[in-house]
Amino acid sequence: MINKTITQLIIMLSFCLTITLAAKQKELNVVLIMVDDMRFDQLSRMGHPYIQTPHIDELAKRGISFTRAYVSSPVCGPSRASIFTGQLPSIHNRRTNFQSPDSYSVYIPELFKKAGYQTALIGKYYEGRTFKKQILNEKYYDELFLTAGPVWPSNIKPQDRKKFFEENLYYNQNYEINGRLKHVKGYQTELLFREANQFIKNNRAKKFFLCLSPFAPHFPFNPSPLRKDKYRGKGIPKTKNLELSSLSSRQSKLISEASEKMAAMIEDVDDGVGTLLETLEVNKLLDHTLIIFTSDNGTCFGEHGSIWKRHAWEEAVKVPLIVYYPKSKQRGTQNKELVSLADILITAADAAQVHLPKDPARYGKSFKSLLDGSKKNFRDTVTVIQYPMDSRNKDAFFEDPSWVSLIAKDYKLTITNKQYPSDHLPEMLFYLSEDQYETQDLSKADITKVKHLKSLLLYELEQNNCNIGWVKE
């Protein structure tokens, strides 16, 4: 009788353990890899003439590449705040890199923490000093490993600071680790991926949310020693919209060198992606982990005569977005649906069944149906808003954008605020389906289309608390 009872208990315990393990297997981990300033075409699989990204390409083969993913604003601070809140800059009020709100009405990583996830933010933090105190006090992340800049020599002269910063930012830096500053030797990109891999290993028996945010390939362009001069002399890839004639010979030389070094830095990131995929595979976590690879914004290297970001051109506002979803049957495919970066953590929460409170100001929405392959026509339009960034008045809170864009299925309309200097015309209309390099402005030739898209844009701006008094009907 006793043996029979023991046998029954063992069977019951085995059954309960099986149920528990099955439930654990259904829980989805989330890894967001968000690099800095990398535009959509800086991958070997996107046809770049010399960048080699085998590991990111492998992620794309296993996942879905969204070829029409757009930022909410083509600068770091506002774009990242949109990712973390699901809101446009006019709502979350992180409108420039220099100004930031004290808090946010919603912060999606906090919701993962409340749902029982182990959480980590590793790399670049850019949501404001005051909000960082809230993150630390409320323990939104179990692990914070944040870049904190170079170690400054005590005797450095003011005139030498810029050069020292540019030469040393990626090497032997300070890091803020759970609120405490520490000097760590090594190359930054490698260190951040190493820390991310360790976090995954430490939490492999739990569900986790990891935001890995390398500073690379952002300026200053310092590749690892392995690739320091790998692409010297390769220059800027030639495209139909490359216009260097308006730049000085010095400017042309500088951006050419920057393009070469940035390519090498992207390969450093690719190495890291390879190690992370290996860590997930070795620990048997790939089948239970949603992986999102993207960038906060793009950058221009002389296209349309423009340099850097902040511009409305595709090179600045369109970014890579690769999503690996274990349950998807769409692996190795490209998806041409319009997506906003404000959508990506909304989608992650949906896939992981993390509850999102109602937010009438939310712009982002879940594209999980695109991952499942069950829906098309996800978005009709994407709105991009750029506010002025005046370094002479860093704390200024701007009511009026410097320009706004509406990207639709085939067309893109940009309206520029005349009171701010710009590389853009007052109104620009491009038929992106046949003019991806934006070389033929149709705003004068197709007034009807401009009027239609402008009405859609004005409605979107009005719905998202964006001042439209400067826009003429």
**Helix ranges (DSSP H) in 283-306:** none
Note the pTM of the prediction, 2 decimals: 0.93
Mean pLDDT for 365-387 is: 92
Residue 247 has a pLDDT of 82
Rounded Cα gap, residues 289 and 274, in angstroms: 15
Residue 21 has a pLDDT of 43
pLDDT tier at 424, thresholds 50, 70, 90: confident
**Which residue from 317, 236, 242, 264 is spatially nearest to 39, judged by alpha carbons?**
317
pLDDT tens figures, 210-239: 999 999 999 999 999 999 999 999 999 999
How many C-alpha atoms does 217 have within 13 Å on its Cβ side?
A: 26
Q: Is the pLDDT of residue 326 over 90?
A: yes
* Measured distance between the N- and C-terminal CA atoms of the chain, rounded to whole angstroms: 87
pLDDT tens figures, 348-366: 999 999 999 998 899 999 9
Rounded Cα gap, residues 318 and 436, in angstroms: 11
Rounded Cα gap, residues 344 and 349, in angstroms: 9
Rounded Cα gap, residues 469 and 404, in angstroms: 13
Residue 81 has a pLDDT of 97
Residue 17 has a pLDDT of 43
Residue 7 has a pLDDT of 52
- Which tokens belong to 293? 């690879």
pLDDT tens figures, 87-108: 999 999 999 888 889 999 999 9
- In the chain, what are the domains? 28-380 (3.40.720.10), 399-473 (3.30.1120.10)
Percent of the chain residues past pLDDT 90, beyond the cut: 75
pLDDT tier at 2, thresholds 50, 70, 90: low
- Name the average pLDDT for the chain: 91
pLDDT tens figures, 46-75: 989 999 999 999 999 999 999 999 999 999
Q: Is the pLDDT of residue 116 over 90?
A: yes
Residues 384, 466, 294: CA angle, nearest 5 degrees:
25
Taking the CB of residue 458, how many other CB atoms lie within 10 A of it? 17
pLDDT tier at 143, thresholds 50, 70, 90: very high
Residues 138, 142, 144: CA angle, nearest 5 degrees:
95
Residue 263 has a pLDDT of 97
Least confident segment among 252-256, 391-395, 456-460: 391-395
Mean pLDDT for 139-147 is: 96
Q: Where are the beta strands (DSSP E) in 165-314?
A: 171-177, 180-187, 208-213, 289-295, 300-301, 307-308
Residue 3 has a pLDDT of 55
Rounded Cα gap, residues 454 and 457, in angstroms: 5
Per-residue CA distances from 352 to 80, 117, 252, 345 (Å): 21, 10, 47, 10
Residue 1 has a pLDDT of 53
Q: Is residue 283 classed as helix, strand or coil in its secondary structure?
A: coil
Q: Is the pLDDT of residue 14 over 60?
A: no
Pairing of strands 64-66, 333-335: parallel
Percent of the chain residues past pLDDT 70, beyond the cut: 92
DSSP, residue by residue, 56-102: HHHHHHHSEEETTEE-SSSSHHHHHHHHHHS--HHHH---SSS---S
Q: Is the pLDDT of residue 423 over 80?
A: no
Residue 23 has a pLDDT of 46
pLDDT tier at 147, thresholds 50, 70, 90: very high
Length of the chain measured in residues:
473
DSSP, res 242 = B
- Which tokens belong to 391? 């370094």
Rounded Cα gap, residues 441 and 449, in angstroms: 12
Q: Is the pLDDT of residue 19 over 50?
A: no
Least confident segment among 31-35, 172-176, 337-341, 423-427: 423-427
Q: Where are the beta strands (DSSP E) in 188-305?
A: 208-213, 289-295, 300-301
Bridge partners of 181?
176
Q: Is residue 128 classed as helix, strand or coil in its secondary structure?
A: coil
The residues, any chain, with a CB within 8 Å of residue 365's CB and separated by 6 or more, are 343, 346, 379
Residue 325 has a pLDDT of 97
The residues, any chain, with a CB within 8 Å of residue 467's CB and separated by 6 or more, are 90, 399, 400, 401
Q: Is the pLDDT of residue 395 over 70?
A: no
Rounded Cα gap, residues 37 and 319, in angstroms: 9
